[in-house]
Each structure stands twice: as structure tokens, then as C-alpha cells.
Structure 1
Amino acid sequence: MLMVALCGAVAGFVLLGHSWLQLLIAGALGIIFTQFAFLAHEAAHRQIFAKGTTNDRYGRILGTAFVGISYSWWMNKHSRHHANPNRVGKDPDIEGEALAFYEEKAVPRTGLRAIIARKQGYLFFPMLILEGLNLHYASVKSLVTRSEKPTKGRFVEIGMLAGRFALYLGAVFWVLPVGMAFAFLGVQLAIFGLYMGASFAPNHKGMPIIPAEVKLDFFSRQVRTSRNIAGRFWPTVLMGGLNYQVEHHLFPSMARPHLARARLLVRQHCQDHDVPYTEVSLASSYGTVVSYLNRVGLAARDPFACPVASQLGRR
């Protein structure tokens, strides 16, 4: 189905020629590439084929050759996240520099970075427009930078990325005028980054942060830090199965069609053992993410400012 959609987008791109309607094709490609990324994510978790090597091969083709993200970089980063979700110093998803996901990250920020941190909740979704470009950059950087641990399939992925970008960028700039080509790429990358970020953000952002020195058992660690999105068919298609985040973290190799059934069993088990199980609407999860990030960002305020006076609009 996705291949049909991709072929349709390519055909539309060729037929439209020099037209600003190409921006609709660019938006469609942003969505299609994200859906391919969901499939690559499932392959990384061994959800598609019985053999791990087949999953890796499939995931590398989809993730690297089609989407333009290094499969090995993603595997390394995502595996560390799954082992310690929302744990300080262990989860790479909360250790980025652009946003502060816990107060200790916000406190040392000064100047412009502190100003941004205080409003980071409102800036979160606009900043996701650049996430597509960031994912491509991080992928290339990970492959061309020397590291102590050898990167499996490094040269294969470098070749895939080089071929993918050469073919894609070459086609865009060959068919479209320069200005229109840059607009096309801007829209495609913006939709891709926004869709990717908006799909992954509801999963853990705004859920409890585990201090580095605190140890939890596997079940508590995965359930307490994860959030499900309510709904069955449409969230599963829209978010590539990530709406069942609790179950996905408990059973990472479980295929997407079985997560709904697993949800019933996990919810009952949590209820029986008095373990919090979080499931909210997509809109509610976004509201929680925004308010949580703003609250964390307040830790970056001027240490000489009076919090009460700030709330009253005074200095």
C-alpha cells in the first residue's frame, strides 16, 4: 500500500512539472516517509520477520534507503531508550540540548537559552518542523564520525544515504526551478519532522522522570513512564502502533495487530496490582506535553528574580 502511495506521489511529481501544486506532493511525501519510518521501527524490534537478520535487512532498506535515516544510529539510540525510558543519564531521548526535559537540564541555562526554555512548551511543536533535517544530520554525522565501537553496516548505509540523497535531490532540482525546489524540500522536511515528532512525543513526554540513582523493576519502569493514546483503528494507523506505547515497551517484539489484545490483559494486571496505567486522548497528551515542558523550563529563570513577583507581572 505504501509503495503504491509512493509511486503515485512520484507520478504526480513528474506530471505536475513547474507548478506550486508540487507542495501538495511534498506534503504527501512527508507523510509517506514517516509511515515507512514506522515500518523500519517495527523491523528494528523484530516484529515483521522470524529472523533477526531479515528484519535488519528490511529495516535498513526502509529506514536508510527510503527514509534517509541511519538504521544503525537509530537502533543504538532507540535500544538505549527502551532499556531505560525517562531515566536521567540513560535515556538519550531526554538528554538533548534543544529542550530541557527535566529541571536539572533547565537550571544552568542562561541568556537566550533560558528565555527559550521558559517557553519551550509552546515552542515544542514549531521546533519539530526542523526535526526532519535534524534526523538526517544526526544520521550522517553518526556514520562519518569515528567511534570506539565499530558501526555495523557503516559503509553500506553511507552508500545507501548517498544514493538516496543524490537521486532524491537530483530529481527535485532537475524537474523544478531552484526556488520551487527549495520550497518543495522545505515542506517535505517540515511535514516529515512534525509528523515524526508528534507521533513519538505523546509516548513519554510529561510522564514521570526516573532519577539516575533510583532503580525500578522492569514492569514498573516501562508502565509508569509510558502513555497510551485512546482509540483503536485511527490512532494505530496514524501513529504506526505507537498509540499502544505501554504494551510496546513491555513486549517490544510484539507485532502491531496483537497490541490491542495485549492492552486488555495489561490494563487488568495493572488494576489488580494497583499500578498506574495511563491512557488519554491524543489532544490531552499534547496538552500535557506543552504544560510539562513549560513547567520544567521555569527552572531556567533568573535566580535573582522573585517567583511571586514574576507571577504578578513585576520584577
Structure 2
Amino acid sequence: MSTDQFVGTPGSTPPRPARRFTSSYTALSQRVRAAGLLERRRGYYWRRIAATLLALSALAATVQVVGNTWWQLLLAPLVALTLSQVAFLGHDAAHQQIFTSPRWNAVASRFLASLLAGLSHGWWTGKHNVHHAAPNQIGRDTDIDSKVLAFHPEALEDKGRAHRWFLTHQGFWLFPLLLLEGFNLHYDSATAVLRRGAVKRRRLEVVLLASRWVAYATVLLLAMSPGKAAAFVAVELALFGVLLGGAFAPNHTGMPVLARGVKQDFLHRQVLASRNVSGGRLVDFFMGGLNRQVEHHLFPNMPRPNLRLVQPMVRRHCQELGMPYTEESFAGAFAAVVAHLNAVGLAGRRQQTCPLAQQFRT
């Protein structure tokens, strides 16, 4: 594969040319299966689900005990943290990681994601499956399509002057924008289920989402005034967005972007577009296991706790093939994200005068 099939940013180094390694991935997959790493971990997930439900119940009871006071806002971050863990469990169920039965995984995902976290299972599964099929590919991966940010040079086209100025500093705007991600996720989820044909079992999804918000509002309004309840929800959604957006942002942003229509073997497509984030069990917890993004993309139905076990095998396999395997610290990953976003934005400002920037336009 020639390097002109990738879209870069000024100063970036295109990935090494890739050959087809379908048989190589098959060999890796066979070793992983033989090691039992694709077997379900029901005990792990039942403990996680039980602990999360217990935490939500305890928080709902605490809200009632604290009563009509602004001190309630101190509980909002704990609710956001717990709901982020619910969302990660719903993500795992949608990937068939919890049960062997697709039906029971779908039931679990709808219960966790739609009913508890307030994010439509059907909407999320549809967009997320497309992302896994073509990570960081222009025209296919909707995760790199944004009305606000530009993740690749092609996204700079048709932007107004004010927007282009914003994009020159977009890397630094990422963090305040994460405060709005929770609102955005819930809005996109709700609008998707209200459109005919947008998601499967749409009526069920509408009932689940509506029931969730009615129950949430009831718990809050039984304990506090409407104004305090609205402030509670605002704080919770802002921090929920930071937690989920912070888990998503470093996984692919700043990694090679594949041009439209380019074909690439599965192994290269998943490894080259993904970045792991190191940091131990604390990072594992806050990122819901998505910090091992390379392994998750190669084996999306692998139970979360097994990603740590398969990582040495995947790293060694990539080294044997001479394939880049990217892993950075939490701080280093976000620094790379900010640098990439700013480089893309600056390329837009200079594209009329700088030949180097111009060559990265597709």
C-alpha cells in the first residue's frame, strides 16, 4: 500500500507500507482462541453489574436522605462516575462480551445502556459497528465526522473564517467541549430513536429511554426543588461527558487516517488506527478497558478482563511483523491528541500559502 492512501498532518510521518496479512491475523486469532482468551467471564461481569446496581441504589437513597439542599451537587459526580461504568458495561454487552447468546447480550445492553445510562442500544450499536469496521477512514467512520472539530485536513473544507480561527486552537478547546459531550450523546440518542427506521426495535427503545428519564426526574424531585434538580442533572451530564469523552478521545485521534475508498487488510486497519493508553488498573477503571484499544479492535468480542492478558501476545505479533504498535501514557496520549488537532487546524489557516500543508489535502 502506498503512503499516499493516508491523510496526514504537517510534520507527521506516514505509516510504513502495508502488505496483506490476513493469514497472519488468522494465526494470531487461533493462538488467542487456543489460550482460552475468548471464553466468557460471566463471574467478572455479574460482580461488576451487581456492584454498579448497588452503587446506583445507594446513591438514590442518599439523595433522599440529603434532601433539599445545594449539597446535593456533591453527589452528582458520583452519579456520573457510576453511570459511566454502566455505559461501559452496556458497550461490552453490545460487543457480545458477556454472554454467548446474542439475544441475551442485546437484552443486557438495552437494560444497561438504554434503561440505566439513557443511551440507546440500537443507536450506539449501529454507529459503533461502522466505526469498528473502518476506524479512522474518511467517508465511513462517523466518529471522525464533527460539525465542531476537524480530525483530518479534508474536514477543513467549506469552513467559515470564524470557524477556521477556532480550529487553529481546537486542541485546547477539546477539554471544555468534553463538558458538553454528555448532553450531545443523550441528544443524538434521543433524536435517533424518534426517527422512523433509524434503529431496530425503535418503540421499545423509546419506552426504555422515556422510563429512564421519568424515574431519574422522580428520584430528584422527591428530594429537592426543580431548580436544584436541574442543576444536579447539568453537573452530572457535564462530568458524564468528560468521563466518556475522555475514554474515547485518545483511542484514535492523531493516528493515521485512511483516505476514501482505500482497502486495507484487517490487521493493519485495526492496529495502525488505534492507540493504547498505559497506566495500570486505575486507567483500566476510568476508561472501561478501552485503554487497550488495539486489542479491543482486533478482538471486539473478547471479555474486558482478558484484554490485559492478550496484550503481550498482540505486541509480540506486531513486533515480529515490523508493524507499529502504539502505546502512550495517559498524559502523553492526550498531548498527542491536542498536538494533532492543532496541527490540522493550523494546516487550514496556511493551506493557501504553504505548499507543505497543501499536499495533505485530499
TM-score, normalised relative to structure 1: 0.93
Alpha-carbon contact 2:271-2:325 (below 8 Å) kept: yes
State yes or no: 1:254 paired with 2:322.
no
Give yes or no for the alignment of 1:233 onto 2:281.
yes
**For the residues of structure 2 that align with 1:166 and 1:220, how far apart are their CA atoms?**
45
The separation in 1 between residues aligned to 2:68 and 2:350, in whole angstroms, is 52
CA distance in 1, matches of 2:312, 2:351: 48
Instruction: Please state if 1:2 is matched with 2:52.
Output: yes
The residue number in structure 2 matching 1:311 is none
Give 2:346's aligned amino acid: L
Q: Aligned residue for 1:67?
A: 117
Structure 1: how far apart are the matches of 2:121 and 2:52?
Answer: 19
- Whether 2:68 is the aligned partner of 1:21: answer no
> Higher RCO, 1 or 2 (CA under 8 Å, sep at least 6)?
2
211-220 or 168-177, larger mean C-alpha shift: 168-177
CA distance in 1, matches of 2:354, 2:168: 13
Matched residues in 1 for 2:288 and 2:351: separation?
43
Contact 1:107 1:299 in 2 (8 A): no
Change in 2 beyond 3 A, CA 1:206/1:144: same
* Structure 1 segments unaligned to the other structure (5+ residues): 309-315
Which sits farther off after the overlay, 244-253 or 206-215?
Answer: 206-215
Deviations 1:98-135 (A, max 9, x none): 21111110132113222221111111111111111111
Q: Which of 117, 125, 128 pairs up with 1:78?
A: 128
Contact conserved, 1:59 with 1:71, CA < 8 A, in 2? yes
User: How big is the shift at 1:36?
Assistant: 0.3
In 1: Cα distance, 2:157 partner to 2:194 partner: 33
Residue 302 of structure 1 and its aligned partner are, at CA, apart by 7.3
Q: 1:307 to 1:182 in 2, by over 3 A?
A: farther
Q: Is 2:169–2:342's contact at 8 Å kept on the other side of the alignment?
A: yes
Match of 2:258, SS state, is coil
1:172 pairs with one of 202, 220, 236: 220
Q: Which moved more, 1:17-26 or 1:280-289?
A: 17-26
Identity among equivalent positions (%) equals 42
C-alpha offsets along residues 213-270 of structure 1, whole Å, 9 cap, x if unaligned?
A: 3221100000000011113322222211111100000000000111112110010011
Query: Which residue of structure 2 aligns with residue 162 of structure 1?
Result: 210
Which of 135, 143, 147 aligns to 2:185? It is 135
- Cα distance in 2 for residues equivalent to 1:122 and 1:272: 37
Hey, what does 2:48 align to over in structure 1? none
Q: Which amino acid aligns with 2:163?
A: R
- Of the three residues 19, 37, 47, the one matched with 2:97 is 47
Alpha-carbon distance between aligned partners in 2 of 1:11 and 1:237, rounded to the nearest angstrom: 24
Note the residue ranges of structure 2 that are not aligned, 5 or more in a row: 1-50, 356-362
CA separation in 2, counterparts of 1:250 and 1:307? 38
Q: Verify the 8 A CA contact 2:64 2:222 in the aligned structure 1.
A: no
Q: Deviations over 1:78-112 (max 9, x none)?
A: 00000000000010100121211111101321132
Contact 1:122 1:290 in 2 (8 A): yes
1:108 and 2:108 are equivalent in the alignment: no
1:287 aligned residue: 335
TM-score (norm 2): 0.81
Counterparts of 2:323 and 2:117, CA distance in 1: 38
Give the CA deviation at 1:307: 6.5
Work out the CA distance in 1 between the residues paired with 2:351 and 2:309.
Answer: 50
Matches within 5 A, 1:193-204: 193-204=241-252
Number of equivalenced pairs: 305
* In structure 1, distance between residues paired with 2:351 and 2:132: 35
8 Å CA contact retained: 2:272, 2:324:
yes
Q: Deviations over 1:137-193 (max 9, x none)?
A: 11111111124xx63111111001111111212332342223322211111000000
Task: Indicate conservation of the 8 Å contact 1:232/1:260, yes or no.
Answer: no
Structure 1 18/96 Cα, relative in aligned 2: closer, same or farther at 3 Å? Answer: same
Q: Partner amino acid for 1:189? A: L
Indicate if the aligned counterparts of 1:108 and 1:300 stay in contact, CA closer than 8 A. no
1:190 equivalenced with 2:212 (yes/no): no
- Aligned letter for 1:15? V
In the aligned structure 2, how far is the partner of 1:48 from the partner of 1:295? 40
Q: CA deviation at 1:300?
A: 3.4
Q: How much does 1:303 deviate? A: 6.4
1:254-310 Cα offsets, whole Å, 9 max, x none, are 001111121100100111110000011011001111111111112332766x679xx
